[in-house]
Structure 1
Amino acid sequence: MKNLLPFIISFFLPGVGQFVLKDFRKGGIILLTYIVSTYLILNLDFLDLIPFWFPHIIIMIWAIFDVYDKVEERDGKKSATRYLAFSLLIVVVLFPLTLTLLTTGLFKSAEFITNEYVNEDRTKEEMNKISTELSLYKNHYGVFPENYESFIRRKPIWVSWKADSWKNPYKYELVDSVNYILISAGKDGIYNNEDDIIRKN
């Protein structure tokens, strides 16, 4: 891996591979050229037609060929070619694959945490607000609303109260004029089981 590092790092930050090989002068020149050219591309209006990634590609190729020459001089052409080939394999195939798997894993973890904890807390908080507004409605009219959708249409901001944080619709049941039940189906989306979240007056 130590022999591959100068090649691999040159793909991402041209010039640093030379630092690994102790050629600080050449590395400094390449890195400085990379930084300055990228800055100019991003900040000068007359260079707008040049893609921002263009300096990276050109200077990356320069850096990699320079690393190749140095490794060839040190270890021979066969070894230098092998190191370059393995580095290309890592950067082009293994690195994106690893990044994809890592991103997918993080996304799934975030989704799990959201479903298990965040959505439940948000739904409970929202149901508390709905209960408060239902109580205010009863205080004003003497009864709870018969139709839940008509109730939440009273204010545009209440439209989000149609469904819980899992995007399952709330179930509202008017027991009688002074009693109601508000139910969220919970994370499984199925009513009338143990993970339901229930609010009563």
Structure 2
Amino acid sequence: MKYILPFLLSLVIPGLGQIIVKKVLKGIFMVALLALAFLLLEGFYLYVTAGVILIWSLVDLFFIIKNRDGNAAALKGIGFTFILLFLIIPVFFVIGYSTISSGLGISENVYFNEKNTINEMDEITGGLERYYSRNNSYPEDYIKFASAKPVRKNWITDYWGNEYKYILIEKDKYQIISSGEDMKFDTDDDIIKGNF
């Protein structure tokens, strides 16, 4: 751990490893240079400058430890650091990103499913009204009506994937119902449209 800690600290903030191995002025200079880069630069130039300072810090630590404790100690420290940098940290970032993005996707889908279903039901009621104006009645078979034109094929199910319930109350009255998020009809989250 004695050889690994300076490399790990320099991986987090370049220059801290130099302070640990008692090269204080050089370490403070690297930390100050990094802070100055964050204050003055942005975008691509900031990333390049920070990367150069990081590489400089790690290479400098390698030579400090190599001169002080030998080649094996320096290789052990920098080897572990590169394994951490190129294998372990990216794996955690990928796992974290996928977990967060899938969690956000679920919450967004719940909101957008309801909103999209309401919009689609408005389109369906418009289509039913056009059907009524041509035929003087609403369709008796909703599936046949929705399947009649390719544009309407997605009108069979809501955005949760549940079939709409179509109820023809009278010749001139109807209801179209989505079971909502819970996928059960006759509950509080049902979405109901029509001219009833």
Q: TM-score, normalised by structure 1?
A: 0.65
Q: 1:176-195 alignment to 2 at 5 Å? A: 176-195=170-189
Q: 1:36-75 alignment to 2 at 5 Å? A: 70-75=60-65
User: Of the candidates 99, 108, 117, which is equivalent to residue 103 of structure 2?
Assistant: 108
Worse-matched range after superposition: 95-104 or 167-176: 95-104
Q: Distance in 2 between matches of 1:138 and 1:18?
A: 71
1:92 equivalenced with 2:87 (yes/no): yes
Q: 1:27-176 alignment to 2 at 5 Å? A: 70-76=60-66, 77=71, 78-115=73-110, 117-176=111-170
1:3 equivalenced with 2:37 (yes/no): no
The SS at the match of 1:3 is helix
Deviations 1:116-161 (A, max 9, x none): x111111101101110111111121111100001111221110011
Deviations 1:30-88 (A, max 9, x none): xxxxxxxxxxxxxxxxxxxxxxxxxxxxxxxxxxxxx65x4332122314422321430
Residue type matched to 1:4 in 2? L
Instruction: Check the 8 A contact 1:4/1:83 in 2, yes or no.
Output: no
* Runs ≥4 residues deviating over 3 A: 13-23
Residue type matched to 1:73 in 2? F
Instruction: Check the 8 A contact 2:62/2:78 in 1, yes or no.
Output: no
Residue type matched to 1:151 in 2? F
C-alpha displacement of 1:111: 1.7
Gaps of 5+ in 1: 7-12, 24-66
Q: TM-score, normalised by structure 2?
A: 0.66
C-alpha displacement of 1:22: 4.4
1:196 equivalenced with 2:190 (yes/no): yes
CA RMSD of aligned residues (A): 2.6
State the identity as a percent: 25
Aligned length: 150
The SS at the match of 2:137 is coil
Q: Distance in 1 between matches of 2:55 and 2:169?
A: 79
